[in-house]
Amino acid sequence: MKQLNTDVVIIAGGPAGLAAAITAGERGLKSVILEKSSTTGGAANMGMGPLGIGTKIQKDQFNDISVADALDLHMNYTHFQVDSDLVATYFGKSAETIEWLQEMGVEFAGAFRYFRESEATWHIVKPENGVIGPRAASAMVKIMTERAKELGCEILLETPAKSLIVENDKVCGAVAADKSGETLEVRGQAVIVCTGGFGNNKEMIKQEFGLNLAEDFFPFMIPGITGDGLRMMWAVGAKKWGANIEAIYQIPDNLNWFLLDAVLRQPNLMVNQNGERFMNEGYMGNTTFAGNALHLQPGNYGYCIMDRGILREYQKNGPDIMDIVHPAEAFFGFDQQAAQALEQGYEAYFEAETIEELAEQLGIDPDVLQDTVDQYNEYCRCGVDSQFHKDQKFLHEITGKGHYIVGKFYLGAYGTVGGVRINKYCEVLNDDLLPIEGLYSAGSDANTIYGDSYNFTLPGNTMGFAINSGRMAGESVADYIADLEG
């Protein structure tokens, strides 16, 4: 067995692990990152940027929000089911963290809302290709990776940790397997676990949430994020607590059918497999709200129905709901991708000339679907939705002009959050809510700040928590080691 000694052992090199390594390095400590995949960054390579509150960027854009206001908003949203001290510490650190990243060389395109009702807390990384969208944060990951190395972090790629080392009731290292499969023992004064949850583990998803991955649940499936760190922490006595999903909604294979997804998620008529309307579609801009509503339907999915007459209005005047991820330009590429979907028999897109034909394609009772469409159109004509009270500006009569066009949207998620409980020092707690000596966690493994629903009104929250909790963990470990050395 090969052995390696360092000050801090960090399991996984996503944004939390990298932030922890940089912070430890700034305090004069050496670290080793055990990274399962062939590159650093984890889910952040798919993301766009972290939350910041009270930053100079926000103030320059007249979009500033105070920590006090954000904390009040968040705690009311979660009904105080989360650790206020942990949230307050993270929010209070977030503006400084944006400056910390900028000092490293990270550039931001600005501070953005996700949708109209959200706050402008999303600090989107200036993308290398100049186009704001998914994967923008990969530029930040590269800079953080290089900075961690400069400060003495050794990053071992394709070297997954397998278990934690505990001696005298203290966590002091990890056992890993290197690229050749040889066992490697890495020892340090403390361990920080940042493995990003278990969003790509079919068995754990089924066990924890009763969902079937790629059957009735379509999250972003990031390779390698399979709950390794959580299982290691549970094995040494960490309290199992607070696991949830960052609920969203999307069509299957979303990134390959991005234009369909962007256009069909507008607030038109949404029905379930029974042909029944089930929500105020005006809330579809908040993807967590819509994902939660879909989770209550048969099969965790629903159909969003519109027609090309409505599409042409969107092309002419812009969509009903604007967000930073799904630009208006998508509406002009829709027809080409729709034709491709029909040609390839894509499972989640439908076109029909009549309601009867559409009902047959969807497997819905045609009489029920016709009644639902007729009732909805009556609401549109009179301008009053007496069922769910959707805003009149979103009520567009669906006539089938140019064909009915339909997307099948499923419950999805950016990933999982939570699984262990930490305090504001990122110390992992046991069943008695006491710290396990030497064990710390940051990022999505320890992200229990949402209660039952991801807070999309403060966008950038999960990446923000990852980077800030990584810094918090790095600082706590540095203080812990300083105390040990007296």
Q: What is the CATH classification number for the domain harbouring 296? A: 3.90.700.10
Same domain membership, residue 175 and residue 61: yes
- Judge whether 138 lies within some domain: yes
Same domain membership, residue 297 and residue 154: no
- Judge whether 112 lies within some domain: yes
Q: Is residue 131 very low, low, confident or very high in pLDDT (cuts 50, 70, 90)?
A: confident
- The mean pLDDT of the chain is 96
**Each residue's pLDDT tens digit, 416-469:** 999 999 999 999 999 999 999 999 999 999 999 999 999 999 999 999 999 999
The helix/strand/coil state of 84 is: helix
Distances (CA, A) of 237 to 92, 173, 241, 436, 472: 30, 15, 12, 8, 22
Same domain membership, residue 165 and residue 16: yes
The domain that holds 81 is classified in CATH as 3.50.50.60
Range list of H helices, 184-304: 202-209, 228-235, 258-264, 287-295
**Each residue's pLDDT tens digit, 319-375:** 999 888 888 889 999 999 999 999 999 999 999 999 999 999 999 999 999 999 999
Q: Is residue 481 very low, low, confident or very high in pLDDT (cuts 50, 70, 90)?
A: very high
Q: Is the pLDDT of residue 128 over 90?
A: no
Q: Is residue 289 very low, low, confident or very high in pLDDT (cuts 50, 70, 90)?
A: very high
Residue finishing a domain among 388, 411, 434:
411
Q: Is residue 104 very low, low, confident or very high in pLDDT (cuts 50, 70, 90)?
A: very high
**Each residue's pLDDT tens digit, 186-219:** 999 999 999 999 999 999 999 999 999 999 999 9
Same domain membership, residue 344 and residue 228: no
Q: Tell me the mean pLDDT in the region 8-32.
A: 98
Task: Please give the pLDDT value at position 329.
Answer: 86
- Judge whether 270 lies within some domain: yes
**Each residue's pLDDT tens digit, 162-171:** 999 999 999 9
Residue finishing a domain among 393, 411, 429:
411
Q: What is the DSSP string of 382-426?
A: HT--TTT---GGG------TT-EEEEEEEEEEEEEEEEE-B-TT-
User: Percent of the chain, pLDDT > 90?
Assistant: 94
Same domain membership, residue 338 and residue 399: yes
Q: Distance between CA atoms of 57 and 64, rounded to whole angstroms? A: 8
Same domain membership, residue 56 and residue 197: yes
Any residues with CB less than 8 A from the CB of 35 and at least 6 apart, and which? 12, 13, 17, 155, 156, 157, 158, 159, 160
- Judge whether 77 lies within some domain: yes
* Closest-CA residue to 133 (of 327, 280, 296, 283): 327
Task: Please give the pLDDT value at position 64.
Answer: 82
Task: Please give the pLDDT value at position 379.
Answer: 98
Same domain membership, residue 407 and residue 439: no
What is this structure's pTM? 0.95
Q: Is residue 486 very low, low, confident or very high in pLDDT (cuts 50, 70, 90)?
A: confident
Same domain membership, residue 276 and residue 222: no
Q: Tell me the mean pLDDT in the region 37-65.
A: 94
Question: What's the structural domain count of the chain?
Answer: 2
- Judge whether 416 lies within some domain: no
The helix/strand/coil state of 125 is: strand
Place of tokens 């607070």: 242
Q: Which two tokens stand for residue 10?
A: 């960090």
Same domain membership, residue 407 and residue 471: no
Same domain membership, residue 71 and residue 24: yes
Q: Which domain holds residue 285?
A: 248-411
Q: Distance between CA atoms of 357 and 436, rounded to whole angstroms? A: 61
Task: Please give the pLDDT value at position 394.
Answer: 98
- Judge whether 148 lies within some domain: yes
Q: Is 46 exposed, middle or buried (0-12, 13-18, 19+ CB in 10 A)?
A: middle
Is the CB of residue 188 less than 8 Å from the CB of residue 32? yes
Same domain membership, residue 480 and residue 394: no
CB count in 10 Å sphere of residue 221: 14
Measured CA angle at 337 (ends 331, 343), to 5 deg: 150
Q: Tell me the mean pLDDT in the region 249-256.
A: 94
Q: Tell me the mean pLDDT in the region 229-236.
A: 98
Task: Please give the pLDDT value at position 1.
Answer: 85
- Judge whether 320 lies within some domain: yes
Same domain membership, residue 186 and residue 160: yes
Residue finishing a domain among 411, 434, 452:
411
Q: Which helix (H) or strand (E) holds 241?
A: strand 240-250
